[in-house]
Structure 1
Amino acid sequence: MTGAGRTDHRDAHTTGSPGRADGVIERHSIDVVPDGERHGRAFNQFTLWLGANLQITAIVTGALAVVFGGDVVWSLVGLVAGNLLGGAVMALHSAQGPRLGLPQMIQSRAQFGVRGAAVPLLLVILMYVGFFASGSVLAGQATARLTHTNDTTGIIVFAVLTAVVAAIGYRVIHVVGRVASAVCAVAFVFLGIRLLDRVDVSALLGDSHFSLPMFLLAMSLSASWQLAFGPYVADYSRYLPRTTSARATFWWTLSGSALGSQWSMTFGVLVAASAGERFLDDQVGYVVSLGGAGLAASLLYFVIALGKLTINVLNTYGGFISMVTGISGFRGQRTLSPRGRAAYIAAIMVAGTAMALLGKDSFLVSFKDFLLFLLTFFTPWSAINLVDYYLISRERYDIPALFDPHGRYGAWRANALIVYAIGVLAQLPFLATSFYTGPLVAPLGGADVSWIVGLAVPATLYWLLARSDKSADSTEPGAPADVLPIDGGPLEDPSVLTGE
């Protein structure tokens, strides 16, 4: 490392001092979280991800499995399989946070280069804006009914509230997650009881007819739901103490996310199978009607808005971190002023709100295609990141080099970018959406298996290339790493910054 590189890395730690552990408004962005500011327990990941998944959009995602032709039994089985498989991949990303103390996507610089990471980052930002928009459509409906305004006003009010919470940052995000997990769990139990009083569950479960394409669609819907968390899940575990068990982080994240999403999606399957057009015409209105009218309805509208607030804040916060990561790779930016933070968050809010207002009248079809579209671009990134972190670098990164385009990881890493492109292209023959269907979908009976190809192909190619490249930039076990003290203290063991 050059002398400039050393100075920059020290700045990345010491200039983070405004982000004291006792502060409410977060100051850190893409810099390493010092050990002195680490806090919390792995269990916090359970409450955050449970709250983030007990919400109306997850209900709609589960309903889509039935809306597009699946039966109740095999839709539920497919959703369980997708939530577990996709959730396991997502939780592996979560376990990276305490080890490195970094946001998720800045780690991609170790695979794609300091500037090359901007390629997947562009798509990640699109994801955040899209999820912000889809969440705002449904939350806006709930907010409008709660405040007795129209949907447009509800969407705008909800978007502003989301931006405010995201601007405050990490601590408040976890508080909102804990509150939402408790409140929404109680509401979902209540709604579940009301639903079971209205429908003949035995009749729904008795109408079982296995269809491979519909089973794989259900699996793809829930897997894409989980995999889409991958690009930002470590953002919310990076403040955990470095000594936090990776296994505990993995299991608490997986259990919270898989339980919350499956709970919501099961409810969505039963509602869609029993209500049909009444649910399709007004998803929010029908769900609330299960609970009754008057005060009960108002409380349920509040619960829906609260559940969406949790996940929309995650999308806004993740979008802000991703924008800073992408731009800083070219500008050399290490820290961010409160004004700059507000500007990035405002940009996400404006773009997501505009998309929500434009697409609110064709929500269901657009959202299903959006989920599958996302899956095409994020499974290759996830495969490359996990193979590099766990199998090639073995959980050790040269953190100063992540901020230096002239360092170990370079500005652009052609091999990873080529593998990423191959991973995207390899999925196209197997992809099935309303605007494009690949040539191999019909021979498979209409099944969409693109996400499986998107994980397997780039993971294999990247592993082979990285293992054969003797001059690979990844930090091999035992390789030297430039290390500086955290918070200006005495020089610590080299493993402090590499994650060993």
Structure 2
Amino acid sequence: MTQVGTPENSLAPERRTIDVVPDAERHGSPFSQFTLWFGANMQITAIVDGALAVVFGADALWAILGLFIGNVAGGAVMALHAAQGPRMGLPQMISSRAQFGVRGAVLPLVLVVLMYLGFAATGTVLAGQAVNKIIHVDNAAVGIVIFGLLTAFVAVTGYKLIHIVGRIASVFGIVGFSYLAIRLFTEYDVSSFVGLKSFDFVTFLLAISLGAGWQLTFGPYVADYSRYLPRSTSERTTFWSTFAGSVIGSQWSMTLGALVAAVAGDAFLGNQVGFVGDLAGPAAIAFLIYLVILVGKLTVNCLNAYGGFMSILTTVTAFNGQTRISSVARTAYIVGFTAVSVVIAVVASADFLDNFKNFVLLLLMVFTPWSAINLTDYYLISKERVDVPALYDPSGRYGAWNAAALGCYVIGVVAQIPFLAQKLYTGPITDMLGGADISWIVGIVLTAAIYYPLAVRSSDPPASMIYPRGSSMIDSRL
């Protein structure tokens, strides 16, 4: 797909926020989704996520297989959200108003903002370590603040610069992570550290959950980065470009993490970034590896800040009726969000691995029901037909609140509690399963099963897509 329309200068601050992107401003190709999501997953936090499966008991070989299954399953769901972007031209969470109501969508939105903050903060901890290694400073707060400033700058500039950083991260990640893998096999007899433990169902499911959770939590903002693609872009192509970039990038990183955890043990647990730098070898090469870590984390952290800003804006505009805001207000939202994430990163850097494991698994509980409702409605009930102007009108087609969708969402969350395997709580059914966490499967299947029959009876989708008047798009009401 070739570029269409007249895109703005790449480094000019983006003008669009939660409003629909008109045809004249559509541009790019599905390959941009591959490089963005590949680069966003070739990063140190994904290495840590893969290491967690081994840290908490799985053999590296079984962990890698479990992570792969989780990445594929979660990646398929995530990419289905991405495929909505070109057709609607909207940020992901705005489309949730079609299911939950213009104001009802605030419930999942608040949880989405917490997710962005959590990932931004935990990622900033690791990125801050890389910054400190580069500038030779010991104070953790210094690196965290510098990285926060970089994040704010790229996120304020917006969509196009984020894609540029993603392409750079893709190249850096391939070179840097390939080098690290070679060093790992050169410095350690990796074969003597894997295949030592027999198959364990519980830790295998943990690995699947870690991979699936990683992918599923991209769902609430993946369409934010496909919405500028030309409206004629094939949904199938958008799906596979996003799926391949995210799954290949994350599996590559997580596999490296599982192997590093298997051979390094405690040496990796207490100093993830430092260990990777030491593995790189000579100081000059270690410096380059720290840059790889920095660029990879910058990509995904900008996604968090950018998505966090739009989720907050979507929440606010549900009550004030606005569809666009000034560039000054946009900057203030992003800077404010980034500042909060930096403060959290400074305060909550201890016990990172254990906290991150529980954070990822907890996010599964609140986002799998949202994903099930959004995808069931869009593909099976509305059949990809949305009244876009009504998404901004509490008195319109979708109303202010959709009690049925909100009820299904709450049931989907609550139903997972008996299946949870968290640090502070283990559900009774989880005990019966030997500690295996299958809550995310329950969340997806049960929520879709109860939502579909309710929505089929009450839904009133338009006969075809309805776009805003005067947006250079086809308006099916004319």
Same fold at TM > 0.5: yes
User: Cα distance, 1:126 vs. partner?
Assistant: 0.2
1:83 aligned onto 2:71:
yes
Output the CA distance in 2 between the equivalents of 1:127 and 1:121.
10
Map 1:424-439 to 2 at 5 A. 424-439=413-428
User: Cα distance, 1:492 vs. partner?
Assistant: 3.4
Output the CA distance in 2 between the equivalents of 1:298 and 1:446.
41
**Residue of 439, 453, 464 corresponding to 1:464:** 453
- For the Cα contact (< 8 Å) 2:386–2:465, is it kept in 1? no
User: Cα distance, 1:30 vs. partner?
Assistant: 0.3
1:161 aligned onto 2:161:
no
Residue in 2 aligned with 1:250? 239
**Residue of 282, 306, 309 corresponding to 1:317:** 306
Amino acid at match of 1:494: S
- For the Cα contact (< 8 Å) 2:467–2:474, is it kept in 1? no
Output the CA distance in 1 between the equivalents of 2:444 and 2:411.
11
Alpha-carbon displacement from aligned partner over 1:469-488 (angstroms, at most 9, x marks no partner)? 2xx24x15x2695762325x
What secondary structure, in the 3-state scheme, does the structure 1 residue paired with 2:96 have?
helix
Residue in 1 aligned with 2:281? 292
- For the Cα contact (< 8 Å) 1:21–1:38, is it kept in 2? no
Output the CA distance in 1 between the equivalents of 2:348 and 2:311.
24
**Residue of 121, 127, 143 corresponding to 1:133:** 121
Residue in 1 aligned with 2:393? 404
Output the CA distance in 2 between the equivalents of 1:114 and 1:225.
28
1:448 aligned onto 2:430:
no
**Residue of 46, 53, 58 corresponding to 2:34:** 46
- For the Cα contact (< 8 Å) 2:386–2:464, is it kept in 1? no
Amino acid at match of 2:130: A
**Residue of 297, 301, 321 corresponding to 2:290:** 301
User: Cα distance, 1:184 vs. partner?
Assistant: 1.2
Residue in 2 aligned with 1:15? none
- For the Cα contact (< 8 Å) 1:143–1:305, is it kept in 2? yes
Residue in 1 aligned with 2:228? 239
Amino acid at match of 2:35: T
Alpha-carbon displacement from aligned partner over 1:186-233 (angstroms, at most 9, x marks no partner)? 001111100011222332333141111100000001100000000000
Residue in 2 aligned with 1:73? 61
Percent of residue pairs bearing the same amino acid type: 57
Alpha-carbon displacement from aligned partner over 1:84-134 (angstroms, at most 9, x marks no partner)? 000000000000000100000000000000001000000000000000000
- For the Cα contact (< 8 Å) 2:172–2:292, is it kept in 1? yes
Amino acid at match of 1:221: L
Alpha-carbon displacement from aligned partner over 1:29-73 (angstroms, at most 9, x marks no partner)? 000001000000001110000000000000000000000111111
- For the Cα contact (< 8 Å) 1:383–1:456, is it kept in 2? yes
Show structure 2 runs of 5+ residues with no match. 1-5
Residue in 2 aligned with 1:492? 474
Map 1:2-151 to 2 at 5 A. 21-22=8-9, 24-149=12-137, 150-151=139-140
Output the CA distance in 2 between the equivalents of 1:198 and 1:258.
28
Output the CA distance in 2 between the equivalents of 1:84 and 1:154.
34
User: Cα distance, 1:343 vs. partner?
Assistant: 1.1
Alpha-carbon displacement from aligned partner over 1:421-445 (angstroms, at most 9, x marks no partner)? 0000010000011111111111101
- For the Cα contact (< 8 Å) 1:72–1:273, is it kept in 2? yes
Amino acid at match of 2:21: V
- For the Cα contact (< 8 Å) 1:73–1:208, is it kept in 2? no
- For the Cα contact (< 8 Å) 1:134–1:367, is it kept in 2? yes
- For the Cα contact (< 8 Å) 1:112–1:417, is it kept in 2? yes
Amino acid at match of 1:237: S
**Residue of 336, 348, 352 corresponding to 2:325:** 336
User: Cα distance, 1:346 vs. partner?
Assistant: 1.5
Amino acid at match of 1:216: L
Alpha-carbon displacement from aligned partner over 1:441-484 (angstroms, at most 9, x marks no partner)? 11101100000001001111111111122xx24x15x2695762
What secondary structure, in the 3-state scheme, does the structure 2 residue paired with 1:97 have?
helix
Amino acid at match of 2:182: I
Output the CA distance in 1 between the equivalents of 2:414 and 2:457.
23
Q: TM-score, normalised by structure 1?
A: 0.92
What secondary structure, in the 3-state scheme, does the structure 2 residue paired with 1:441 have?
helix
Output the CA distance in 2 between the equivalents of 1:319 and 1:71.
36
Amino acid at match of 2:23: D
Alpha-carbon displacement from aligned partner over 1:269-299 (angstroms, at most 9, x marks no partner)? 0000000000011000001111113211111
What secondary structure, in the 3-state scheme, does the structure 1 residue paired with 2:401 have?
coil
Output the CA distance in 2 between the equivalents of 1:280 and 1:483.
52
Output the CA distance in 2 between the equivalents of 1:156 and 1:381.
33
Residue in 1 aligned with 2:354? 365
Output the CA distance in 2 between the equivalents of 1:358 and 1:294.
30
- From the superposition, tell whether residues 483 and 285 of structure 1 become closer, same or farther in structure 2 (CA, over 3 Å): closer
1:173 aligned onto 2:162:
yes
Residue in 2 aligned with 1:203? 192
**Residue of 215, 218, 223 corresponding to 1:229:** 218
Output the CA distance in 1 between the equivalents of 2:195 and 2:324.
58
Amino acid at match of 2:159: Y
- From the superposition, tell whether residues 197 and 20 of structure 1 become closer, same or farther in structure 2 (CA, over 3 Å): closer
- For the Cα contact (< 8 Å) 1:187–1:300, is it kept in 2? yes
Q: CA RMSD in A?
A: 1.5
- For the Cα contact (< 8 Å) 1:98–1:242, is it kept in 2? yes
Q: TM-score, normalised by structure 2?
A: 0.96
Amino acid at match of 1:484: R
